[in-house]
Chains A and B, each alone.
Chain A
């Protein structure tokens, strides 16, 4: 690496275009929204920047606070489910025959490269009243009914008069299931990377010294995989928290997340300053989560160096 002073012309040739692009077409829009978040709406479309924190105070209204809490709850639940499922998958891949590991990893990653919108849409077809899950349940219901009929209990109506499809769509369940579906690959990769690096003789030693599989898992495997776990939690939680499409398509009226409220402020409700404040709150939360991760990584590095 050389100092930019040794070669200022080349430096500026490479530095100017991307820096200008980033400044004009990314940082300037963000700065505009940041300023807007301290403004207020005057008339139908005009916005005056009054530098008052009114919009942020309004975001503390119980109505919006509740939506924030709900978003945290959805994202947290999603992360927890992904962590459990992701751990099982990562362990299974780590201990699969080496020849098959790349294929299994590819199979985890492949859905990740399919369009988010299409994946969410595909879930609708699985969850809707006449979808895959309810179809399967109905078949099972009919089969059980005919078995009952066969043993002479069919007229008692033990299973109810007819099959009641489960309401799986447009509620909180659908949103969390959709978020897990979309974010699972984010969790598997860092977990796999951590488990793959792990020295297996630690597990062997633990088992040899008399610890059971469960104890080994909790006191050897998990501490060793901690960096991967923390990475996985952050990179699952952050995008899940800011999800727009999943709650929009799969959620009901009471399962909206922050991103949906932001969208409404910028579209139908037409209150851009308030939407701007909400989107900056979401961004600050994201930054805090990422800062926590690097803080943790820095501490872990120092800890292992000491």
Chain B
């Protein structure tokens, strides 16, 4: 069919109004973010007119000690939370994939609760919990980040479990049986057969846990104190204070990190599916 032919009855993809609404939606989704990124390089404080390229807001953000401290806190929390979430999530996934046990359905329901309950409810629950048990507030760094890290693990590991379980669903159990028949112990067959098979799922789940932790604002907002500020919480207080190009620069860095990590996760998932 030549390009000039009128669209066929099912050729909705070539109808102008549909294309227009698609591009209008993309404009709506991307214009604000692209503008934020662009103006982090704009040599002007207030106006939305382009006044020339500059990196001075990045320099300012870099020299802002409390911002860098918040960023270090965020990375520390995200790292610890990722490691713990991957281990706990992997255990949950293997448990639910491998075993039949009484009360499995309610157990699965409870495991999905952290994913479905509103963030605000989990945030206030964590705040009340740590206040109630008298969680020590003035520990030395990095122990003072414990409360936030615990909260992040609680909402991250069910996500990891979900990703790993999706991977396990395609596992051929005969492989493990073969290993056992050939004399491998339980531990050996887990380490040498099941674990390597799960690896793409573990990596993808880990990257998901890392971005979830790095991005979380609401739950962290309720578990952080004056000494334990994370990057999103710091950005929030900067936004509340005023809208400055420095916030744009900090936000752009965070967007870049998340996009980078997500791209790797997607690429790994794609590779795992095609292999």
Spell out A's residues near B (CB within 8 Å). Answer: 1-4, 7, 10-11, 13-15, 17-19, 21-22, 25-30, 32-33, 36, 85, 88-89, 91-97, 104, 106-108, 110-111, 113-119, 121-126, 128, 130-132, 135, 181, 184, 200, 203-204, 207, 238-239, 241-242, 244-245, 249, 259, 262-263, 266, 272, 275-276, 279-280, 282-283, 286, 290
Contact = CB atoms under 8 A, between A and B. Distances in A.
A272 B113 contact: no
Contacts of A19: 107
Contacts of A118: 33, 36, 235, 251, 254-255
Contact of A132 (B35, B46, B88): B35
Contacts of A123: 32
B9 to A, nearest CB: 5
B241 interface: no
A26 B255 contact: no
B5 interface: no
B36 A3 contact: no
For the residues of B in contact with A, the DSSP-based class is helix
B153 to A, nearest CB: 7
B12 interface: yes
25 contacts: A4-B100, A10-B186, A15-B101, A21-B157, A26-B154, A30-B121, A32-B125, A88-B21, A89-B22, A89-B25, A92-B18, A92-B21, A113-B211, A115-B254, A117-B215, A118-B36, A118-B255, A119-B32, A119-B33, A121-B235, A203-B10, A238-B116, A245-B217, A259-B120, A283-B118
Contacts of A286: 116-118
B170 interface: no
Contacts of B202: none
Interface of B: 9-13, 18-19, 21-22, 25-26, 28-33, 35-36, 39, 46-48, 87-89, 91-92, 94-95, 97-101, 107, 110-111, 113-114, 116-122, 124-129, 132, 150-151, 153-154, 157, 161, 186, 211, 215, 217-218, 222, 232, 235-236, 239, 243, 247, 251, 254-255, 258-259, 262, 266
A220 B167 CA distance: 35
B215 A132 contact: no
A242 B32 contact: no
A239 B116 CA distance: 9
Contact of B13 (A96, A108, A125, A244): A96
B12 A95 contact: yes
Contacts of A113: 211, 258-259, 262
Contact of A30 (B9, B12, B125): B125
Given A17-B88, A125-B243, A266 B186 contact: no
B100 A1 contact: yes
A123 B107 CA distance: 40
B36 A29 contact: no
Given A15-B95, A92-B12, A283-B118, A111 B30 contact: yes
B98 A18 contact: no
A43 to B, nearest CB: 15
B95 A18 contact: yes
A27 B107 CA distance: 12
Contacts of B100: 1-4
A263 B121 CA distance: 9
Nearest to B186: A10
A26 B114 contact: yes
A266 B122 CA distance: 13
Contacts of B99: 1-4, 7, 11, 14-15
Contact of A282 (B88, B98, B120): B120
A95 B98 contact: no
A122 B100 CA distance: 48
Contacts of B154: 21-22, 25-26
Contact of B218 (A10, A94, A126, A244): A244
A118 B253 CA distance: 11
Contacts of B239: 117, 121, 124, 249
Q: Which 7 A-B pairs have the closest CB atoms?
A: A242-B118, A29-B129, A95-B13, A122-B32, A29-B125, A92-B22, A95-B12
